[in-house]
Structure 1
Amino acid sequence: MGGLIAPSGAQAATPTPTAVTIDGTKPGLTFDGVGAISGGGGNSRLLVDYPEPQRSQLLDYLFKPGYGASLQVLKLEIGGDTNSTDGAEPSIEHTRGTVDCNQGYEWWLADQAKARNPDIKFYGLSWGAPGWIGNTGSGGHFWSQDSVNYLMDWMGCATRHHLNVSYLGGWNERGFDKAWYENLKSALVARGYGATKVVAADDTWDVADAMATDPAFKNAVDVVGVHYPCGYMSDFSSCPSPANAQALGKPLWASENGSEDADGGAPAVARGINRGYLDGKMTSFINWPVIASLYPDLFFSTDGMSIANQPWSGTYSIGKTTWVTAHTTQFTKPGWRYIDSASGYLGGARTNGSYVTLKGVNNRDYSTVIETLDATAAQTASFTVKGGLSTGNVHVWSTDLNSTNPADWFVHQQDVTPAHGTYTLTLQPGRVYTVTTTTGQGKGTATPPPAAPMKLPYADGFETPATTTSPKYFADMNGAFQTVACGGGRTGTCLRQMAPTRPINWTDEPYNAPYTMMGDGSWSNYTVTADTMFEQSSTVELLGRVNQQGRNNNGLNAYHLRVSDTGAWSIDKSDTSWHFTTLASGTTTALGTGRWHTVALTLDNATLTASIDGTAVGSTTDTSFTNGRAGLGVTGYQTDQFDNFALTPGTPTTHTGPIASALPGTCARPTAGTSGAAVQLWACDGSAQQVWTRTNGTLTHNGKCLDVTGGGTANGTPVELWDCNGGANQQWAPQPDGSLMSAQSGRCLDDPAGATADGTPLEIWDCNGGANQRWTLP
């Protein structure tokens, strides 16, 4: 393993070793913790629907001390019934004065986090808000007394859930209003929440300029929180803060950072945690998001600590980001102090890597976190311990980020006894290390089950209570779909869209009507059916073959059956820019309000058929979308109801032929017809070796399935032939742009670097629409 301990004075691996003095009498700023964000877009939505024991395993990997990421801060979205990146979080107060503290799944998640780590800190922030806020009609005005009152109602709900909110922010990435923050601070004190610290402004460093010139505003703000100070979706190699921010005397935080892939983004996160303090004196790093527990066709579907997007199978993968985070969180606690003189860049050069040292509140323990991610050769670092800190044994943990083998991540590598308080570490490139006097660390050993497609038929009458008020597997994209007592004279429980007015939006999509979706993206031929009841004059919709969503809900590839209370109906398709095309339309007998009717959309290859109350009212043909999940919606902010949701499978179809790349003259072929044979790119030759059979979401050759090796989800995982087993790593969802998405990971079949040479091995990679990811299928 990399990173060996050598006795002091041993031959250095590099001519420029680093000498570090760890002096316990020279502390720096107070460490506020490393955390992550649940929200900003429904990223943890599917986690609550995972079966046991997998749900508890995932929660342990996130929050349990000495097990996984061991997060120290959990930032929660304060729901506003509106899309906030990859989904919408429900509000506790859809209408003024009617508060329901059981809305959403954030309370459940916070409770689970606290049960595992009673010391975890909670932080609340709004992305959007219900439409009644601001008294300006549709859309509302966030910077108002209404929103301050709304946050106080949310704080009251937190109290009812026995949660202590340590930090509270304003409006995510939408600037700031100084008077509003002053009012927020006053309201917290007046309502008995004076211990809750105000964070501003969850945006840019501009807030520091305003605080420097306005004493009242400065006094109202306890923490300066800035987003992406290391750059957005960058390598996080530089994380500065302006001098005027550091001069405020307030804690500076990277209150949102990350937006990085669970595996591929781990190096950036490791740099950012260290360099945020080294470059900008930021004492907290909060990763967005906490977990990728959302459907694979959403834009940021692989970002977070781990990936958990198949609650029906229970499968998941623990990302490298979990383990680089653990290198800090398992060896420190909020309240520890940085030691500035024992923090810096190895050999004085940023490209060699960075190190930070923190000491415990007992003034004896310390931990040094080191990253060598940009180094190209081994190097040494010599440490001398003094100032009352322990000179006893140190424990060395390491993660090799160049390795794809999980056994090389977060390894207890070696213990060493310093000689007269001195020891030397040999550091290999591409690693994260922690050297510590503490104990109690560990690496979770839970193993997930294999991936599998969600099978049809499927039905939900909304009578079986789910863990939250959202029905199982349904992910809201706008609005808020909640189970309630049925109206229209029907007994039992139904699904109702709860937001009666357009919310204050965070995203900027041109079409922002409420809809919710569920299921497996590899589904092809099926009928989606639901009973509907119009509470007022409006239009409901059933969605079919829902696949790729545009970034921040700025479009959706899907078919829509729309039915109005007037009897008007249409079959429409939308794309990832929210361009709608009406494929068929008509009018039947008026359905009226307050009465129940059954609507159905059948998708049978290219034929799309609409039915109302058991009678087919029209059909059309279209070949734009071949697969995707199902959904329900309302075309405006009306409170309509749904019941007896059902999905019935159609007839599978089979096509035979080559898988041809958009790169001219090249096709996919296996090296042999046996399990384990690599799938490669070769010149198209019409041979039987290049013939595949496509049936719904599977591609087979010689009776074997196109398979993502080992069920892997990371960029660069190869593909091969394997015995067909129904796993989601053998399910492929063709996209309208010609790409072929793995139903398990949300990554696309990829020809590395667009190579055209015979024998180029194919793999999965982040979907990017490039020619090397576009395929003509049989």
Structure 2
Amino acid sequence: MTALALAGPATADAATSITIDGSQGGRTFDGIGAISGGGGNSRLLIDYPEPQRGQVLDYLFKPGYGADLQVLKLEIGGDANSTDGSEPSIEHTKGAVNCGGGYEWWLAEQAKARNPNIELYGLAWAAPGWIGKGNFWSQDMVDYLMTWLGCAKQHGLDISFLGGWNERGYDKGWYENLHATLAGKGYGGVKVVGADSGWEIADDMVKDPTFAKAVDIVGAHYPCHGGDGGDAVSCGTTSNALATGKPLWASENGSQDIDSGTAPLIRSITRGYLDAKMTAYLNWPLLAAIYPNLPYSTVGLAVAPSPWSGAYSTGKSTWATAQVTQFTKPGWHFIDSASGYLGTSGSYVTLTDGHDYSTVIETSTATAAQQVSFSVRGLNTSTAHVWTTSLGTGPDFQHSADVNGSSYTLTLQPNTIYTISTTTGQGKGTAVSPAEHGLALPYRDGFEYASGTEAKYLSDMQGSYEAQPCVGRSGQCLTQMAPIRPIEWQDDSDAFSLIGDQDWGNYTVSADVRLAKAGAVELMGRANAQSRPQSHQDAYYFRVSDTGAWSIVSGDTSGSLTTLASGTTTALGTNAWHTLSVTFQGSTITGSVDGHTAGTATDGRWTNGQAGIGVVGYATDQFDNLAITPGAGSPARQGPITSGMAGKCARAGAQVALATCDGSAAQTWTVRNGSLVNSGQCMDVTGQGTANGTLVELWDCNGGGNQQWTQATDGSLRSVQSGKCLDDPGFSTTDGTQLEIWDCNGGANQRWQLPAA
């Protein structure tokens, strides 16, 4: 017997014995995948330059390189926001089919090029408004899905799985119709997943055999402890779900940061099978290729927010996924007798193809080393390779050791993922991201793209903007393609699209506009934090209608809109071209029509942010010659936050802590719209607390009062939510002391110097 201690103390708690017997059975493994959709979370990747775009794709899909995904779930676009963006429909109006729009077909082609065996899965979150006269559960929707499958075929893509309406329940007759239509249209091999929500669909399946035949896979969302964003220390299903005899999937899970969400991810896979017999896990999302002011900007298996710089990052979740996918394939089966919970703490599953085996172990909840003894029967007993990923600060996806023979013992360290496998061909990609930088001004786009495609860097939040021939002038223009309100997944808003850099401060946005019907268009500026739904947007809007009515409006993440100024200017009319512009200079906002000032407003709430275009409501209005040009100076401020305690600065991390000033990136803060930002995240009073001693951390920016700070004349930084001061506890000078809020007292431990303007 081989005995091996892995990277840590050799002493261990109680041992676990695992017998890997190839004659023993278990459910068939259906794969590990991820979801591109449920928002425009892949939107910016297509605009990345090479080689960085290819590097990100390799990390996601290339076998033996990174996450090596086995299933890719694609949103079937519906022109409406489905968390952090809107995906374009293939059929904005009935009969006008565009199989070349959006980026999901491109993404699927790239995935297939890297891994021809990857399986594809389609699911709708929203739908064009013409479908069923607003009724999703209609024949129109079934026909629309058949059209979508036809588009997939045009792209050389076979779809393996198809769902109904994401997290919006189910209609039994509709599912039966879908299943029958698939068979009748030559898509009988496509398996139907129901209902991409909870386990409730299984209750009707066990009562109704006809309905049960129409659903091939029971897919539930967030079925582990804590639900969406939970810790997944246990997972659950229902007796009826098990009684269906169908494969059970976690058809959406995740919603967590690429690093801090790694332990729940691996637990969802191992404990998902142990507790609930789930045989597939799909992470939401695939990646966060979205602007960092949007919700969920650091979730997924990679982050790619900066196409102009090519900067991206992978996280521990990438490598936790690789600990399963690089050692298994769909079609393998679990060995139930070699899967279970460790004697001390942790879990394991074993899979085999009948010859090789792979055992995946997680010790994420263990606090001490523990021994595991293995005995292998009826399977390959040649060299087994041990790969590890630390769930702490240790290395990712490392070939740590080899073991030989039919029996061996390993000493496992806590907070680690292990894979012991007789397979080969694993590897870890070596591509490195360039440094991130901002998008320089001026920026211009005349929208001379192929008809039916999206414009570079513009990220649609609601509706769908595509290049189309201009009406009333030559060339191509950007057209808002949704003529009526879509069947929505979350709340309604203007049809708008965002572009650019969060650090833009003083600038002018201008565009030529043409109204297709009576209504209003808008230019946006200093757009920053967005909450859900997408109408909850920190931004300024300059709106002008066909009658000439104009307004300058401030919006925020509560969904409130405040009119700062309004009046009447030249009527835009319909079917005529005009030039609109809005200038942000300090606290002055000036809106113009055809070079003439319509009006001004004074407001200092938003100091930095993106530009945007929009239609108030839904109309096929057109935009051309978008330009963002720099103003004089900029209110952006960047540098250290220096403490009144000599030589000390605020350092970013999971905790915001005191540290000796060193000029590092972790001590370089941006003062933006009242927030203090580092690495795209904001200084945050934990849990929106207001009590003395509430700790301060770094968190995704959301525009909340617990992320807003004002500087008083005495040098203190005060939380807008509580009025209390950023405080160095007990006048500490110890590096690593986490900062807190406390009643303001004027002490040196509450004095902070922000970066200069």
The question of a shared fold, defined as TM-score above 0.5 by the shorter chain, is answered with: yes
Report if aligned partners of 1:484, 1:495 keep a CA contact under 8 Å in 2: yes
Partner of 1:78: 76
1:551 aligns with 2:532: yes
Letter in 2 for 1:679: C
What's the CA shift string for 1:360-409, capped at 9, x where partnerless?
Answer: 2xx110000000001010000000000x2011111000011111x5xx01
Q: Deviations over 1:62-88 (max 9, x none)?
A: 000010110100000000000101110
Q: Which residue of structure 2 aligns with residue 696 of structure 1?
A: none
**Alpha-carbon distance in 1 for matches of 2:438, 2:636:** 20
Q: Would the aligned equivalents of 2:661 and 2:667 in 1 still touch at CA under 8 Å?
A: no
Q: Which residue of 1 aligns with 2:367?
A: 376
Contact 1:167–1:199 under 8 Å retained in 2: yes
1:393 aligns with 2:327: no
SS at match of 1:616: strand
Match of 1:208 in 2: 202
Aligned equivalent of 2:114, options 106, 113, 116: 116
Is the Cα–Cα contact under 8 Å of residues 659 and 668 in structure 1 kept in the other structure? no
Show the counterpart of 1:701: none
Could you tell me which of 455, 470, 473 is aligned with 1:471? Answer: 455
Alignment of 1:481 onto 2:503: no
1:338 corresponds in structure 2 to 334
Residue number among 264, 286, 305 corresponding to 2:282 in the alignment = 286
The counterpart of 1:644, out of the listed 612, 620, 625, is 625
- In 2, distance between residues paired with 1:720 and 1:87? 40
Question: C-alpha separation between the residues in 1 aligned to 2:539 and 2:704?
Answer: 22
- Larger deviation, residues 767-776 vs 436-445: 767-776
Report SS of the residue matched to 2:461.
strand
- The question of whether the paired residues in 2 share the 8 Å contact of 1:51 and 1:311 is answered with yes
Match of 2:308 among 296, 304, 312: 312
Cα 1:15–1:479 shift into 2, 3 Å: closer
Partner of 2:649: 679
Amino acid aligned to 1:573: S
- Report the CA distance between 1:749 and its aligned residue: 2.8
User: What's the CA shift string for 1:679-726, capped at 9, x where partnerless?
Assistant: 23xxxxxxxxxxxxxxxxxxxxxxxxxx96xxx8x77799886669xx
1:192 to 186, 190, 195: 186
CA distance in 2, matches of 1:232, 1:146: 31
Cα displacement (A) at 1:668: 3.9
- Is 1:765 the counterpart of 2:699? The answer is yes
- Which runs of 5 or more residues in structure 1 are unaligned? 661-666, 673-677, 681-706
Flag the 1:668–1:172 CA change in 2: closer, same or farther, 3 A.
farther
Q: Is residue 61 of structure 2 the alignment partner of residue 63 of structure 1?
A: yes
Residue 587 (structure 2) aligned to one of 606, 611, 618: 606
Contact 2:638 2:668 in 1 (8 A): no
Quote the Cα distance in structure 2 between the aligned partners of 1:776 and 1:636. Answer: 36
Secondary structure of 2:132 counterpart: coil
Give deviations 1:230-256, integer Å, cap 9, x for gaps.
022111111111122111110000000
% same residue: 57
In structure 2, list runs of 5 or more residues that go unmatched.
712-753
1:36 to 34, 37, 44: 34
Shift in CA distance, 433/338, structure 1 to aligned 2, threshold 3 Å: same
Report if aligned partners of 1:715, 1:766 keep a CA contact under 8 Å in 2.
no
Alignment partner, residue 690 of structure 1: none
Query: 1:250, 1:482 → 2: CA distance?
Result: 41
Change in Cα spacing, 1:656 to 1:162, as seen in structure 2 (3 Å) is closer
| Aligned counterpart, 1:441 | 426
What CA distance in whole angstroms lies between the structure 1 residues aligned with 2:28 and 2:697?
45
Q: Does 2:248 correspond to 1:252?
A: yes
**Residue equivalent to 2:440:** 455
Alpha carbons of structure 1 residues 273 and 671: separation in structure 2 relative to 1, 3 Å: farther
Contact 2:514 2:575 in 1 (8 A): yes
Q: Distance in 2 between matches of 1:283 and 1:574?
A: 45
The amino acid across from 1:416 in the alignment is V
Check the 8 A contact 2:675/2:682 in 1, yes or no: yes
Shift of 1:732: 2.3
Q: Aligned-pair distance for 1:654?
A: 6.2
Q: 1:658 to 1:109 in 2, by over 3 A?
A: closer
With normalisation by structure 2, the TM-score equals: 0.89
Q: Provide the rounded CA distance (Å) in 2 between the counterparts of 1:775 and 1:339.
A: 55
Q: Report how far residue 429 of structure 1 moved.
A: 0.3
Following the alignment from structure 1 to structure 2, what is the Cα–Cα distance between the partners of residues 28 and 524? 59
Question: What does residue 298 of structure 1 align with?
Answer: 294
Query: 2:397 — aligned with what?
Result: 410
8 Å Cα contact 1:7-1:423 kept in structure 2:
no
Are residues 497 and 721 of structure 1, via their aligned partners in 2, closer, same or farther at CA, if it must alter by over 3 Å?
farther
Q: What is the CA-CA distance between 1:116 and the residue it aligns to?
A: 0.3
Read off the aligned partner of 2:447 and give its amino acid letter: F
Alignment of 1:693-732 (within 5 A): 732=670
Q: How many residues align?
A: 707
Match of 2:675 in 1: 739
Q: Which residue of 2 aligns with 1:426?
A: 411
Cα deviation, 1:89-123, whole Å, max 9, x if unaligned, reads 00000011111101111000000000000000000
Distance 1:15 1:261, change over 3 A: closer
Find the counterpart in structure 2 of residue 702 from structure 1: none
Distance 2:621 2:688 in 1: 49
Q: CA RMSD in A?
A: 2.9
Name the CA distance, whole Å, in 1 between partners of 2:637 and 2:32: 51
Give the secondary-structure state (helix, strand or coil) at the position aligned to 1:560: strand
CA distance in 2 between partners of 1:454 and 1:717 (Å): 30
**Matched residue type, 2:141:** S
2: CA distance, partners of 1:536 / 1:425: 72
Kindly state the Cα deviation for residue 306 of structure 1 after the two structures are TM-superposed.
Answer: 1.2
Cα distance change on mapping 1:604 and 1:721 into 2, 3 Å: farther
Q: In structure 2, how many angstroms separate the alpha carbons of the residues matched to 1:569 and 1:7? A: 72
Indicate yes or no: 2:464 matched with 1:496: no
Deviations, residues 606-648 of structure 1 (Å, cap 9, x unaligned): 1000000011111010111111100000001100000000011
Alpha carbons of 1:477 and 1:382: their partners in 2 closer, same or farther (altered >3 Å)? same
SS in 2 for 1:551: coil
Change (3 A) 1:752 1:344: same
Q: Does 1:152 align with 2:122?
A: no
Deviations 1:515-539 (A, max 9, x none): 0001011111100000001111121
**Equivalent residue runs for 1:528-567 within 5 Å:** 528-567=509-548
Structure 2 counterpart of 1:663: none
CA 1:235–1:671 in structure 2 vs 1: closer, same or farther (change >3 Å)? farther
Relative distance call for 1:775 and 1:720 in structure 2 (3 A) is farther
TM-score (norm 1): 0.86
CA distance in 1, matches of 2:103, 2:578: 30
Give, in angstroms, the shift of residue 579 of structure 1.
1.6
CA distance in structure 1 between the partners assigned to 2:99 and 2:298 by the alignment? 30
Q: Is the 8 Å Cα contact of residues 655 and 696 (structure 2) preserved in structure 1?
A: no
Tell me the distance in 2 between the aligned counterparts of 1:436 and 1:657: 49
C-alpha separation in 2, matches of 1:424 and 1:486: 71
Offset, 1:14: 3.2
2:103 to 94, 102, 105: 105
How far 1:13 sits from its partner (Å)? 3.1
Match of 2:574 among 556, 576, 593: 593
> Counterparts of 1:537 and 1:720 in 2: how far apart (Å)?
60
Matches of 1:412 and 1:718 in 2, distance apart? 37
Question: Using the alignment, how far apart are the partners of 2:704 and 2:617 within structure 1?
Answer: 36
CA contact (8 A) 1:298 1:548 kept: yes
Partner of residue 629, structure 1: 610
Structure 1's 208 and 297: CA in aligned 2 closer, same or farther, altered over 3 A? same
The aligned runs of 1:212-231 (5 Å cut-off) are 212-230=206-224, 231=227
Deviation for aligned residue 1:775: 2.6
CA distance in 2, matches of 1:402, 1:447: 21
In the other structure, the counterpart of 1:359 is 352
Alpha-carbon distance between aligned partners in 2 of 1:718 and 1:311, rounded to the nearest angstrom: 33
Contact conserved, 1:43 with 1:87, CA < 8 A, in 2? yes
Structure 1 stretch displaced more, 14-23 or 112-121: 14-23
Q: Residue 358 of structure 1 aligns to which amino acid in structure 2? A: L
Task: Give the letter for the 1:336 counterpart.
Answer: W
2:503–2:636 CA contact under 8 A, matched in 1 = no
